[in-house]
Amino acid sequence: MRQRILVSALGAGALAVAGLTAQGAIAAPTPYTAGKHAAKVCSAPKAAHTAACNAIKLVNDKGVAPASTTPPSTGLTPAGLRDAYKLNGLSAGGRTVAIVDAYGYPNLERDLGVYRSQFGLSACTTANGCLRVINQTGGTSLPRFNAGWAGEQALDVDAVSAAAPDAKIVVVQANSASFADLGTAVVTASKQAGVVAISNSYGGGDASDATYGTYYNHPGIAVTASTGDNGYQGGSYPASSSYTTAVGGTSLVAASNSRGWSETVWSGAGSGCSTYNTALSAASSFNTGCSKRAMADVSAAADPGKGGMAIYYPTSKTASTWAQFGGTSEAAPIIAAVYALSGNTSGYANALPYAHPGSLFDVTSGSNGSCPTTQWCNARTGWDGPTGLGTPNGAGAF
């Protein structure tokens, strides 16, 4: 697969995304004035039918995010996120967001506590019933630690906490990053009491629902999936499944307008058409240009430097620190949390935004690459590949 270089202007401090290959490996970083670039958190898949997480963190010119006892000042905070997407005053009402990732993270509860305490959010612990961590079959014997995927999990639980502070969280840790293990974890998540949304911040190549769709087919539960971080490239599973809500990415900055924020396409946001899976009937009147499943459906902040979240994450099995994370791995749990805030996930939840596009912030500028059909990689009024129908304006579209 040819190398694809992504360049994103990341605003203050001349932050920028370094080159990433289409398979998820890190290309040689491009030097920038402030010495900041973005690095993939998870390694590229080493086998077919295996996924990589879609988290990205800002690092210095040595490829390191220096240890810090305080959040980066440029990182998106819970208050900023909820203001940007007009989520203040909404409640998850005791509903649960499930997060599916690979491998273990022994200090997840401790680190989540640091994050929530830092930003004045209520405690979410196993003792108070807010948090559960289980393996892919629902047991308590957890998989081995993997630093990359543990960083992904930290981003996911922090993003859900930021968007829906009163939501309960269950983290289901798959034994590996294989489609089969991750899919088994999704099925387990769907069976947990109170779960209304399942976030999947990972992806591999396009794949068929005929083979893997049973893992993601859960009417009545919103199953969100990241579209990937390599720009326009075609389908990425499970975002290319007909059963998921495919979540693209934006660059989000504060602005002096009535909303107080402005969004454009994040150049890394994945988009494209599946070669396998059925188009969403709900999208039939939105001119996607795809004969089969088009992604994305909706989007949220994903640019590590413009809207990337300040999160507390593990650098080893025992140590953790603050850094700034982005990627469509940020966007998928945000959207899962908004579904929890809406309380409306009946039927196939990916159809809901198409019935209420006016309740989204339409993203109309920016591009994530070159494509043969304009809307697959360029923002426009209405649906486009990188951002779908747009980003949350409250929970009315969900």
- Does residue 266 have a pLDDT over 90? yes
Rank 33-42, 61-70, 369-378 by mean pLDDT and report only the highest.
369-378
Single-letter amino acid, residue 133: V
Mean pLDDT of 225-234: 97
Q: Does residue 238 have a cis bond before it (omega within 30 degrees)?
A: yes
DSSP tag of 50: B
* d(C-alpha 108, C-alpha 140), whole Å: 14
Whether residue 322 contacts residue 311, with contact meaning beta carbons closer than 8 Å, is answered with yes
Structure confidence by residue, pLDDT tens digits, 291-335: 999 999 999 999 999 999 999 999 999 999 999 999 999 999 999
Per-residue pLDDT, 22: 32
- Does residue 25 have a pLDDT over 80? no
388: which residues sit within 8 A by CB, 6+ positions away?
246, 247, 248, 295, 296, 297, 298, 299, 353
Structure confidence by residue, pLDDT tens digits, 127-149: 999 999 999 999 999 999 999 99
End-to-end CA distance of the chain: 36
Lowest pLDDT segment from 60-69, 181-190, 241-250: 60-69
Per-residue pLDDT, 36: 72
- Whole-number Cα distances in Å, 376 to 134, 160, 270: 38, 28, 10
Give the rounded percent of residues in the chain with a pLDDT score beyond 70.
91
- Does residue 10 have a pLDDT over 80? no
Split at pLDDT 50, 70, 90, the class of 33 is: very low
Whether residue 336 contacts residue 222, with contact meaning beta carbons closer than 8 Å, is answered with yes
Structure confidence by residue, pLDDT tens digits, 206-221: 999 999 999 999 999 9
- CB atoms inside a 10 Å sphere around CB 317: 14
Split at pLDDT 50, 70, 90, the class of 96 is: very high
Stated pTM of the model = 0.92
- Does residue 352 have a pLDDT over 70? yes
Q: Give the position of tokens 């004035």.
A: 33
Give the rounded percent of residues in the chain with a pLDDT score beyond 90.
88
- Does residue 6 have a pLDDT over 70? no
Structure confidence by residue, pLDDT tens digits, 37-54: 899 999 998 898 999 999
Split at pLDDT 50, 70, 90, the class of 184 is: very high
Mean pLDDT of 167-178: 98
* d(C-alpha 170, C-alpha 186), whole Å: 11
* d(C-alpha 21, C-alpha 6), whole Å: 9
Split at pLDDT 50, 70, 90, the class of 229 is: very high
Per-residue pLDDT, 35: 55
Calculate the dihedral angle through the C-alpha atoms of 182, 186, 191, 192, rounding to the nearest 10 degrees: 90
Structure confidence by residue, pLDDT tens digits, 145-164: 999 999 999 999 999 999 99
- DSSP result, 140-160: S-PPPB-HHHHHHHHHHHHHH
